[in-house]
């Protein structure tokens, strides 16, 4: 059925990595440049959708054996933990801390707990997009 999709599948193999790389860039750049967890997550999800289009549901599930409902839950959990964390040291809910540290390879970088929160958003967005698309795709 998908005999003629050689070109699409080959290009997909190349492009998916570029898209994912771009989405990771968007995610990490979020605090300083346009981007962030939401767009990054959508972009990653679109890479996965491209995989779905080029191959079929079973293949994608084999390649990425993740239950995206759990991904959503993990994302929400990370976001909530980021919020609850500061409360342990007596600060209000969702107080963020930031600092500049010397990292190997990257040099001096700004790190903030807001990034963790954004990671939660990122995972939720991937999770829900994939859940919706997979559910609709599997129904007949």
Partner 1 sequence: MSFVHLAILLPFMMAILVPFLYRYLKRIHTGWLILPVPVLIFVYFLQFLGLKKPLQETIPWVPSLGINFSVVIDGLSMLFALLISGIGALVVLYSIYYLSKKHEDLRSFYIYLLLFMGAMLGVVLSDNLLVLYTFWELTSISSFLLIAYWHKRESSLYGAQKSMIITVFGGLSMLAGFLLLYNMTGTFSVREIIAQADIVTQHELFTAAVIFILLGAFTKSAQFPFYIWLPDAMAAPTPVSAYLHSATMVKAGIYLVARLTPVFAGTAEWFWLVSGFGLITLFWGSFQAVKQTDLKGILAFSTVSQLGLIMSLFGVGSASVLFDSIQDNLYVIATTAAIFHLINHATFKGSLFMVVGIVDHETGTRDIRKLGGLMALMPITFTVALIGAGSMAGLPPFNGFLSKEMFFTGMIRAAELNFFSMETWGLLFPFLAWLASIFTFIYSTILVLRTFTGKLKLSELPKKPHEAPIGMLLSPIILAVLVVLFGFVPNLLSYSIIKPALEAVLPSLLATGDTFKVKIYFWHGFTIELFMTIAVISLGILGYVTVKKWSKIYNVLPKNFTLNHVYNAGIVNIEKGAAMVMNRLMTGSLRQYLTYIFLFFITALGLALILLRPMAIDFINAGNIELFELVLAFVLIGAAITTIVTKSRLTAIISLGTVGYLVSLFFVLFRAPDLALTQLIVETISVALFLLCFRYLPNLQREAFKLNRLLISVGVGVVVTVMAISADATRLLEPISQYYVANTYEEAAGKNMVNVILVDFRGVDTLFEITVLGIAALGIFAMITLRVVRRDKVEGK
Q: x/- contact string, 105-134, with partner 1 (CB under 8 A)?
A: -----x-x-x--xx-xx--xx-xxx-xx--
Q: Would you count residue 35 as binding partner 1 (CB under 8 A)?
A: yes
- In this structure, what is the dihedral angle of CA atoms 60, 62, 67, 71, given to the nearest 10 degrees? -70
Positive or negative: CA dihedral 79, 104, 31, 66:
negative
d(CA 66, CA 134): 12
Q: Is 89 helix (H, G, I), strand (E, B) or coil?
A: coil
CB 64, min distance to partner 1, A: 17
Q: Would you count residue 69 as binding partner 1 (CB under 8 A)?
A: yes
CB 106, min distance to partner 1, A: 15
Angle at 47 between CA 18 and CA 118, to 5 degrees: 90
Residue among 26, 3, 48, 5 nearest 122 (CA): 26
Applying the rule CB under 8 A, the residues between 12 and 31 that interact with partner 1 are 26, 29-31
Binding site for partner 1 (CB under 8 A): 26, 29-39, 42-43, 46, 69, 72-73, 75-76, 79-80, 83, 93-94, 96, 98, 100, 110, 112, 114, 117-118, 120-121, 124-125, 127-129, 131-132, 135-136, 139
């Amino acid at each position: 059925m998908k005999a003629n999709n050689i070109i699409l599948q080959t290009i997909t193999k190349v492009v998916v990595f570029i898209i994912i790389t771009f989405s990771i860039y968007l995610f990490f750049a979020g605090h300083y440049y346009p981007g962030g967890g939401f767009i990054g997550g959508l972009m990653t999800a679109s890479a996965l959708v491209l995989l779905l289009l080029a191959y079929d549901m079973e293949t994608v599930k084999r390649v990425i054996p993740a239950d995206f409902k759990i991904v959503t839950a993990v994302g929400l959990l990370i976001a909530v933990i980021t919020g609850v964390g500061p409360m342990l040291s007596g600060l209000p809910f969702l107080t963020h801390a930031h600092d500049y540290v010397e990292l190997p390879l990257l040099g001096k970088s700004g790190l903030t707990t807001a990034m963790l929160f954004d990671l939660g958003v990122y995972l939720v967005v991937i999770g829900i997009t994939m859940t919706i698309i997979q559910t609709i795709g599997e129904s007949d």
